[in-house]
Amino acid sequence: MIRSRIITLSALLVGLVGMNSAWAISVGDRVDNFRLLDHTGASHELYYHSNAKAVAFLVQGNGCPIVRNAMPRFKELRDQYAAQGVEFFMLNTNLQDNRENIQKEVEKFCYDIPILKDETQIVGEALSLVRTGEVFVVDPKTWKVSYQGAIDDRLTYENQKKEAQNHFLADALDNMVAGEAVEVASTNGIGCLINFPEQQAMAKAKHAEISYSQDIAPILLENCVACHREGGLGPWAMTDYNMVRGFSQMIREVVRTKRMPPWHADPAVGHWSNDRSLSNEEVKTLVHWIEAGAPRGEGEDFLATNDVKYFDWDAEDTMGPPDFVIDIPGTEIPAAGVVDYQYHFVENTIGKDVWIRAAEIMPGDREVLHHVITTFGYDITEGKHKGRFNRIGGLRGYAPGLNNDGFPADTGVMLPADAKIEFQVHYTPVGRATVDESKMGVWVYDEPPTHKMVSMFVANPKIKIPAGANNHRETVDQVIPKDAWLYSLMPHAHFRGKAAEFRAVYPDGSTELLLSVPNYDFNWQTTYEFDTPKFIPAGTKLVQANWWDNSSQNPANPDASIDVTWGEQSWEEMLFGAFTMRFLTEEESAEQKTAQASEAGSASNAR
C-alpha cells in the first residue's frame, strides 16, 4: 500500500539543490551494465535484474558514520520492499577498502546486504559518485537513474533526529512499484567524500596521453589477439588501431561486465598459470583510454605488424611435429543456430601402449571450434552401467589461447593401445556453413617417466534442480587415497550452470577453498591450472559444489518451467568435475611432512 506522504517545503528545496550535484550520471541518465563481486566473492550483474521493479544501491564505505547509521533504515526498506520486487545492494568504490576489511565491517555491524566491490573504480567513476552514504535507484525498464540522494532527512553530519520527516527513498520506491514517475527524484546526499584520483582534472588530461602503441596494443596482444585475429574464434580481428578504435565502446562494455577476457575464477582464491584475466591496472588503463576517445598517439601499430603464429607444429618455438596424429571425425557446422555438444569416440590408432608427454589439438576451422575436452577409457559392456563410458584418464584439450606446455617434467600419462579416446567438442556457428576437421597431435616418451599423472573424475547423477530456482546447490566429493600434488581443477555444468567451487577438507578437519568460480559460463570449459602444485595429504576429501540458475532470468535457460535432472545433452544438467594430480613417493611424502612441521613450528614461534 502506498503510504500517505508529507512533502514539506524544505524537502522540495533539498531536491532543487540536489539537482546541481556533481554527478556525471544524473536522474534520467542511463546506467551502463557492469558486473562486480561482492564481499563474499559472489558475482552480480546489474542487467540480470531486468524483472525487478527497482534496483536500489547504498554507496558504502568502511568507517563512514553516515553509512553505519543509515544501514538499519536501508535494511528496513529492504525487508519492506524486497517482496514487492525491489533489489537492494551496497556499492563500495573506496580506494582504501578491500574485501578482507569489508568483511570485518560486515561482521561488526551485522550487514546482510551484498556489498559489491568496485576494485578498479571504473563503475564509481562512470557514475561520478561523490559520497558514501548516498543512494541511487535504477529503473530496470529503462536502466536509467530514477532517484539519487539521501535515504531520508534523519541524519546530518553532527546530529541525528529520532525520526525522519521526509522519507525520500521510500517515497521513490513507492512511486516506482506503483508504476508512477518519481515525485522527488534528487536530494542532497551526505557522507564521506570518495577519492577518485583518476577523475581529477590533471589525471583525466593524462588519459588522453595513454599510449596506444606502448600501453594498449601490448595489453591486447597479450590477452585478446589469440582469439581476435584472422581465422580466430573472436567475431572480429584486432588487425590494427582503426579496428580497435571502431570496436572500443564494445571493448569497454565487455570489460565492465567481465565477459572478456573469458576468465571466471575469483581472483582472491588461488593462483593460476593459465590466468587469462586483466589486472586491475590493465582494466583501468584500457577503460580510461577508451573513455578519453581512444587516441592514436605516436608509435608503431604493433597489432598491424603482429606476425605470431598460433598452433603451428612446425614453428621454431614449439616441440616440433608430433610423434602421432589422431584424426577427430569431421563435423558439419551450420551457418547459424546452436550446435549441441559433439561426443566423438575414436579408436586409438597408435597401435601400442605409449607414455604421453604432451598432447595438443590442432583446430580445423578455428573460427567455429570453441573448445575440446579429451579423455580416454573403455565402453562398459555389462552390469548396471552397461552402455556408459568408463573414463580412466585425460589428455590435453583445446581452448582459444591455451598453449601446449606438456605435462610437468618427468611426468606423463600412459595411453593403452586398446583404449578409446573421447573428444567432447563445442562449436559456435559464425554465419557461414563449414566442416571442421580437427586433429590431435601426441608426443611420447622413449622411456617411461618417473611419475604418472592421474586424472580423477567426480559426478553426481542424482542432481535435481527445481523449476524456477535461481541458486540451487548440490555437491559431490572424492577422497584422495595417497599424498599427492594437485595440478588442476575443472568444474563442469551446462546451460543453467551459475557458479562452482572446489574445497579441500583435510584429515584434521580444517577446510580450504581451492577454487571459486562465481560466474560460471557454460561457453568456456576452463581447466584451472595451479601456478604451483598444491599438496594434498592422504585422506583429504575434495568437495565440488555447483550452483544452477533455472529461472527465467537466466538468458541461456532452455526452459525455466521444468525440474532438471542429470543428462549429457546441453538442455539437461551435470554436476561433473575433473582434476589432475600425481601421487608422491614415500620419500617425497616424508620430505613434505617434515617441511610442513617446520613451517607450523615457525608460525607458532612467531606468535
- Per-residue pLDDT band at 454 (split at 50, 70, 90): very high
pLDDT at residue 573 is higher than 60: yes
pLDDT number for residue 607: 61
C-alpha cell at 590: 616424508
What are the phi and psi torsion angles at 364 (to 5°)? -80, -55
Euclidean distance between CA atoms 495 and 77, whole angstroms = 34
Euclidean distance between CA atoms 467 and 319, whole angstroms = 50
DSSP string, 5-54: ----HHHHHHHHHHTTSS-SS-TTPBPPP-EEEBTTS-EEEGGGGTTSSE
Architecture of domain 312-452: Sandwich (2.60)
Q: pTM of the full predicted structure?
A: 0.89
- Per-residue pLDDT band at 569 (split at 50, 70, 90): confident
Instruction: Report the alpha-carbon angle 318-322-328, nearest 5.
Output: 115
**Residue 538 DSSP symbol:** T
- Which residue ranges make up each domain of the chain? 9-198, 200-291, 312-452, 463-607
pLDDT number for residue 558: 95
Instruction: Give Cα separations from 70 to 15, 60, 114 (angstroms).
Output: 19, 10, 15
The region, left, alpha or beta by phi > 0 then psi within -120 to 50, assigned to residue 509 is left
pLDDT number for residue 338: 86
For residue 492, the number of C-alpha atoms closer than 13 Å in the C-beta half-sphere is 22
Instruction: Give Cα separations from 133 to 17, 93, 129 (angstroms).
Output: 17, 12, 10
* pLDDT, average across residues 111-122: 98
With pLDDT > 90 as the criterion, what percentage of the chain qualifies?
Answer: 80
pLDDT number for residue 371: 87
Instruction: Give Cα separations from 428 to 271, 272, 519 (angstroms).
Output: 30, 27, 20
C-beta of residue 234 within 8 angstroms of C-beta of residue 169: no
Q: Where do the DSSP E strands lie in 78-154?
A: 86-92, 115-117, 135-139, 144-149
The string of pLDDT tens digits covering residues 369-405 is 988 989 999 999 888 888 889 999 999 888 766 666 7
Q: Which of 251, 256, 248, 247 is nearest to 33 (CA)?
A: 256
C-alpha cell at 405: 606446455
Euclidean distance between CA atoms 138 and 87, whole angstroms = 10
Region 9-198: CATH code: 3.40.30.10
pLDDT at residue 316 is higher than 90: no
3-state secondary structure of 221: helix
H or E segment and range at residue 256: helix 248-256
pLDDT at residue 261 is higher than 60: yes
Neighbours of 560 (CB within 10 A): 17
pLDDT number for residue 386: 87
CB contact set of 369 (below 8 Å; sequence gap of 6+)? 233, 363, 398, 425, 426, 427, 436, 438
The string of pLDDT tens digits covering residues 198-208 is 999 899 899 99
- Per-residue pLDDT band at 10 (split at 50, 70, 90): very low
Taking the CA atoms of residue 202, residue 208, residue 214 and residue 218 in that order, the dihedral angle to the nearest 10 degrees is 110
* pLDDT, average across residues 24-42: 92
* pLDDT, average across residues 486-503: 96
pLDDT at residue 25 is higher than 90: no
pLDDT at residue 111 is higher than 70: yes
pLDDT number for residue 603: 63
pLDDT number for residue 465: 98
pLDDT number for residue 311: 67
pLDDT number for residue 308: 85
3-state helix, strand, coil in the chain (%, to 5): 20, 30, 50
Cross-strand bridge partners of residue 486: 534, 581
Mean pLDDT of the chain: 91
Asked if the domains 9-198 and 312-452 are classified in one and the same CATH topology, the answer is no
Lowest mean pLDDT among 84-88, 240-244, 385-389: 385-389
pLDDT number for residue 21: 34
pLDDT at residue 605 is higher than 80: no
C-beta of residue 55 within 8 angstroms of C-beta of residue 46: yes
Domain 463-607 sits in CATH 3.40.1210.10: no
* pLDDT, average across residues 522-545: 95
pLDDT number for residue 22: 33
Q: Which of 257, 250, 278 is nearest to 45 (CA)?
A: 257
Euclidean distance between CA atoms 430 and 142, whole angstroms = 31
Euclidean distance between CA atoms 547 and 550, whole angstroms = 10
pLDDT number for residue 354: 97
Dihedral sign (CA 579, 582, 586, 590): negative
Longest CA–CA separation in the chain, Å:
89
* pLDDT, average across residues 208-213: 97
pLDDT at residue 142 is higher than 90: yes
C-beta of residue 114 within 8 angstroms of C-beta of residue 75: no
Taking the CA atoms of residue 34, residue 38, residue 42 and residue 46 in that order, the dihedral angle to the nearest 10 degrees is -30
Instruction: Give Cα separations from 106 to 43, 91, 100, 103 (angstroms).
Output: 18, 13, 10, 5
pLDDT number for residue 406: 86
* pLDDT, average across residues 134-142: 97
pLDDT at residue 24 is higher than 80: no
With pLDDT > 70 as the criterion, what percentage of the chain qualifies?
Answer: 93
* pLDDT, average across residues 273-283: 96
